[in-house]
Amino acid sequence: MTAKSLVSISDYKVEDYNRILQLASEFEANSYQNLLHGRVIATLFFEPSTRTRLSFESAINRLRGRVIGFADIGTTSSTKGESLHDSIRMVSGYCDLIVMRHPLEGAARYASEVSSVPIINAGDGANQHPTQTLLDMYSILKTQGTLQNLAITLIGDLKYGRTVHSLIMAMMNYNPRFYHRNLHCQMNTNKFLQNTIFLFRNIPICKKY
């Protein structure tokens, strides 16, 4: 694994996915370890989150790390006009790693370019949510026994669902067949899915039902 930050799921290769999933299995068997002892992790949530934020903070504590950060942008200097650039530069001087959620697409990539420490993208607008994808892949692997040659049904907001975007990109490496049903948007979901997949690889798209 050469990438220090995790901004897009495409920043990593298939070998990286497989290694992370193997490590996840080991951590599930023994979640209390000292890997982050002496490290400070900043969780910067510029939009509301419960499960993602608490998942990260719980994991950091289980690995004996220290957590700083915020869950309410209203308590930060952003309300006084501080730019994202200045916020990231400042916080990166206080910690060893930044976990960030932001409502704007591309914010995590920008943060990784100005930060002096690695950035983990915990969701940037309707763009991506790579750590959720890794968790989804681990769940699929546990329940199905493999990631290869699966029929995957995507249900929900396919246009704005960042988790779906990341999952499609990652699972393309395992020869899937995608089915889809959009419950929330009046849009041509088949065209959207085709355009998304065309950007990366020619994967068969099965009919909507």
The residues annotated as belonging to the active site are 51-52, 80, 101, 129
Among the listed residues 75, 30, 31, the one whose alpha carbon sits nearest the alpha carbon of residue 55: 31
133, 17 Cβ separation under 8 angstroms = no
180, 207 Cβ separation under 8 angstroms = no
- Token digits for 139? 């769940």
| Residue that is written with structure tokens 């085709």 in the block | 194
125, 180, 184 from 188: Cα distances, Å: 21, 11, 12
203, 176 Cβ separation under 8 angstroms = yes
156, 184 Cβ separation under 8 angstroms = yes
